[in-house]
Structure 1
Amino acid sequence: MSQYQRLLLIINPALRHSQAINHAAALAMTCGASLHIAALIPSLDMLSLLESGDRESARERYRQDHEDWLKAQAKSLRSGGIDTTAEVAWADDMREAILDHVMEMQPDLLIKEVQHESALKRAFFTPLDWHLLRHCPIPLYLLGGGGYVLPRKVVAAVEVSDAASCDDELNDRIIQQACGLALQCDAELHLLYACNVSAAFLADMGGLTLADLTKALRKDLEKSFLKLAGRFGVPSDRRHFIEGHPVKVLSEFANAHQVDVIVMGRVQSHGVGKLLGSTTEHILYQVPCSILAV
């Protein structure tokens, strides 16, 4: 049985050129899952310029147009054998509307297209996708780039340490989600760890330089990574231990290897970390693929 039985897709119905429905439908088909499409319409400020009666009439015509379109999409999916339901609704607060749908429906996976925001806007406002990464209680599949409707190459991005830690449980969830997705879609599964150990600065520590300590730590981290890969049976040619900053490493790897999905962990951010955003949050704007955050 697939790990996904109920899928929730959130779309902006004004973006009818989006491939989000095709991606979600393909995943629902291969998993044998039901698919609910919620088309949430942001409030239209321009309507406030109209008289009250005209405003309500314009709102209803706008909503009805999108509903007619979405009904046709859902009917087509059902005729193709996918258990599909759909709705169109206004959303004054998009973040709360999405999370309310998640709590009400209890799906196994929330699917949404990445909403790209400029660096300037991100400096002043927390992007919607960042809010969802921080507060969504279920796995979040953020669709990015074009690619195939079903992934052909899935990368599980893990964080290892030289000793047992709280990362172990999250790593297990990341790899299990990645394995399940890859198996369901008949895709390649790769395991990657971006080792961010720098030997740029040297210091003498009891006869050992920082470079010596860095080398030893790197060896321990690689040993932990290989042990993790072995535990899940990842073939040696699909294990990638790469030195460098995680965002840079993952971005370059995704581009060089035509990655379709990166599966990553997400943790609650606090203090400065909440302001700057996590690695997973920043990856959204750096890679040409989708992100599955668990």
Structure 2
Amino acid sequence: MSQYQRLLLIINPALRHSQAISHAAALAKASGASLHIAALIPSWKLLSLLEEGDREMARECYLQDHRDWLKDQAKNLRGRGIDVTTEANWADDLQQDILDHVAEMQPDLLIKQVQHEPALKRAFFTPLDWRLLRHCPVPVYLAGEGGLALPRKVVAAVDVSNTEPQGSELNERIIKQASGLALQCEAELHLLFACDISTAYLGDMGGGGLTLSDLGSQLRGELEKSFLDLADQYGVPPDRWHFIEGHPVSVLSEFANAHGVDVIVMGRIQSRGLDKLLGSTTEHILYQVPCSILAI
């Protein structure tokens, strides 16, 4: 049985040429899942300048235009054998409305187009995509502008440096989600670990007379063994194992661009303190890669 039974796609109807519908339709077709498309429209502040009667008429005409467009999209998708329903509504609180839809529908996957925000704006306002990554209770598929709608190359980005039970559990969930996605889409599954051995991290280790270089080599060897054991455990072919040294954001972005990756499957961990302000690896990678991100 497919791991996806119900998919929820949230779109900005003003961006009618985005790839989000293509991505969602391809996943629904491959998995046999039903697809609900919700066009949630932020309140149009300019309407407040109109008289009340004109304002209501303008709101209704604007909404009806998007509903008619969605109706045409749904007709085309049904012609491809996809079970699809649609809605278009105003949203006073976009994040809460999306989370309410998730709570009501209980989808297996929330799909949304990546919304690029300037770095200066991110310094003062937490992007909607980041907030969804932090608060959405189901896996979030953020469709990028590049990559194929139906994935052909899926990368499971794991972290074997976290030896706590929750770290192992998250790696297992990442690999299972990535494996299921690759199987449904007949895509290649790759396993990648970005090994970031920082001087600060090594400084916390008991040296036992070893030099910093010795500690680095020792730690690298232990992490590589853990990664190879993990890859072998899940039956990933050896030519698709990627142990790469460097910062995770840099490693993943360079690998995705160099190897034509369609989807990176990553974990998302609740951020606290300064990390919450700066954003996690998963949050920052959204702006560094053209492909899609599936956050578990």
When the two structures are superposed, what TM-score results if normalisation uses the length of structure 2?
0.96
CA distance in 1, matches of 2:4, 2:119: 34
Identity within the alignment, %: 75
**Does 2:268 align with 1:257?**
no
Residue in 2 aligned with 1:218? Answer: 220
Match of 2:244 in 1: 242
Q: Which residue of structure 1 lines up, in the alignment, with residue 5 of structure 2? A: 5
Verify the 8 A CA contact 2:147 2:292 in the aligned structure 1. no
1:109-147: CA deviation from partner (whole Å, max 9, x where unpaired): 000000000000000000000000000000000000232
Shift of 1:163: 4.6
Change beyond 3 A, Cα 1:54–1:211? same
Measured after TM superposition, the shift of residue 235 of structure 1 is 0.9
Summarize deviations over 1:56-98 as a string: whole Å, max 9, x none: 1100000000001101111221122111100000001110010
Given that 2:146 and 2:262 are in contact with CA atoms closer than 8 Å, whether structure 1 keeps it comes out as no
Mapped to 2, the partners of 1:11 and 1:200 lie a distance apart of 42
Q: CA deviation at 1:211?
A: 1.1
* Helix, strand or coil at the partner of 1:161: coil
Does the 8 A contact of 1:66 with 1:88 survive in 2? Answer: yes
Matched residues in 2 for 1:232 and 1:202: separation?
30
Measure the CA separation in 2 of the matches of 1:97 and 1:6. 18
Gaps of at least 5 residues in structure 2 are none
Q: 1:73 aligns to what? A: 73
What does residue 19 of structure 1 align with?
Answer: 19
Name the SS of the counterpart of 1:2 in structure 2. coil
SS in 2 for 1:208: coil
CA contact (8 A) 1:254 1:287 kept: yes
- Contact preservation (8 Å) 1:115, 1:129: yes
The whole-number CA distance in structure 2 between the counterparts of 1:178 and 1:41 is 32
1:108-123 matches, cutoff 5 A: 108-123=108-123
Deviation of residue 228 (structure 1)? 0.3
**Structure 1 residue 198, shift from structure 2 partner:** 3.3
Once structures 1 and 2 are overlaid, which stretch shifts more, 204-213 or 64-73?
204-213
Write out per-residue CA displacement over residues 224-278 of structure 1, whole angstroms, 9 at most, x where no aligned residue: 0000000000111100000000000001000110100000000111111111110
RMSD over aligned CA atoms reads 1.6
- Mapped partners of 1:33, 1:87: distance in 2: 18
Cα distance in 2, alignment partners of residues 179 and 56 from structure 1: 49
Partner of 2:181: 181
CA contact (8 A) 1:202 1:211 kept: no
Question: What amino acid does structure 2 have at the position aligned with 1:72?
Answer: D
> Does the CA contact (< 8 Å) of 2:162 and 2:168 recur in 1?
no
Maintained 8 Å contact 2:19/2:145 = no
Q: Does residue 282 of the first structure (1) align with residue 284 of the second (2)?
A: yes
Instruction: Pick the aligned partner of 2:234 from 225, 232, 235.
Output: 232
5+ residue gaps, structure 1: none
Question: Which residue in 2 is equivalent to 1:156?
Answer: 156
- DSSP 3-state at the match of 1:166: helix
The residue that corresponds to 1:98 in the other structure is: 98
How far did 1:291 drift?
0.1
In structure 1, C-alpha distance between the alignment counterparts of 2:255 and 2:209, rounded to whole Å: 37
1:47 shift after superposition = 0.7
Q: Is the 8 A contact 1:177 1:263 kept in 2?
A: yes
CA pair 196-27 structure 1, distance change in 2 beyond 3 A = same
Given that 2:19 and 2:143 are in contact with CA atoms closer than 8 Å, whether structure 1 keeps it comes out as: no
Is the 8 Å Cα contact of residues 202 and 215 (structure 2) preserved in structure 1? no
SS in 1 for 2:145: coil
User: Which residue is 1:266 aligned to?
Assistant: 268
Letter in 2 for 1:90: W
Cα 1:267–1:206, aligned 2, differ >3 Å: closer, same or farther?
closer
Give, as a single letter, the amino acid of the residue that structure 2 aligns with 1:51: E
Amino acid at match of 2:32: G
The 3-state SS of whatever aligns with 1:281 is helix
Deviation (angstroms), 1:201: 11
Structure 1 runs of 4+ aligned residues shifted over 2 Å read 161-166, 198-207
**How far, CA to CA, are the matches of 2:26 and 2:70 in structure 1?**
17
Structure 2 Cα separation of the partners of residues 147 and 47 of structure 1:
38
- Is the Cα contact below 8 Å between 1:162 and 1:217 reproduced in 2? no
- Distance (Å, rounded) in 2 between the aligned partners of 1:76 and 1:287: 30
